Amino acid sequence: MHELGIAASILDSVQAETDRRPGSHISKVGVRIGELAGVDSDALQFGFECLVKDTSFEPLELDIEAVPRMQRCPCGNEFRMTDYDPRCPACGEFMTQCVSGDQLEITYMEVEE
């Protein structure tokens, strides 16, 4: 779906970083994707490889870190949400709040000088 556009946005950032460091080559870019981000990792990896192939970006690896969804309970407990169960494992409260899991971020790049 929109993973190709997201792959292109990642490459824009790689290009910007390369422009800032003349003579260097970026060989790896790390991204963090939350399970609520609505991005399929396999489709992103596939789209990324298609865009990189036969360009000056090669060799360039995409490292995807999957981030789970975290909920916070009014009791203070933070827990990983599994099987769509928002109930707090500590106190059973249902009205817990999502505090993490929609990340779609670039975290690092590896540069060959």
Partner 1 sequence: MSRIEIEKKVLNENQVLAEHLRERFRAHAVCCINLISAPGSGKTLLLERTLERLAPGTRVAVLTGDLQTENDANRLARFGFPVKQIITGGTCHLDAKMIGKHLEGWDLDELDLLIVENVGNLVCPSSYDLGEDCKIVLLSTTEGEDKPLKYPSIFAKSALMLLTKIDLLPYVPFNAELARENARRVNPQIEIIDVSSTTGEGLERWMKWLRTEQSNKAGARLQAEA
| Contacting residues toward partner 1, per CB under 8 A | 1-2, 5-6, 9-10, 12-13, 17, 27, 31, 35-39, 84-86, 94-98, 101-102, 104-113
- Structural Rg of the chain based on CA atoms: 18
Least distance to partner 1, CB of residue 80, Å: 14
Asked if 64 contacts 103 with a C-beta cutoff of 8 angstroms, the reply is no
The beta-strand segments (E) located in 1-113 are 25-34, 61-67, 70-72, 78-80, 97-100, 104-112
- Residue 43 CB, nearest approach to partner 1 (Å): 11
In the complex with partner 1, the residue whose CB is nearer, 56 or 84, is 84
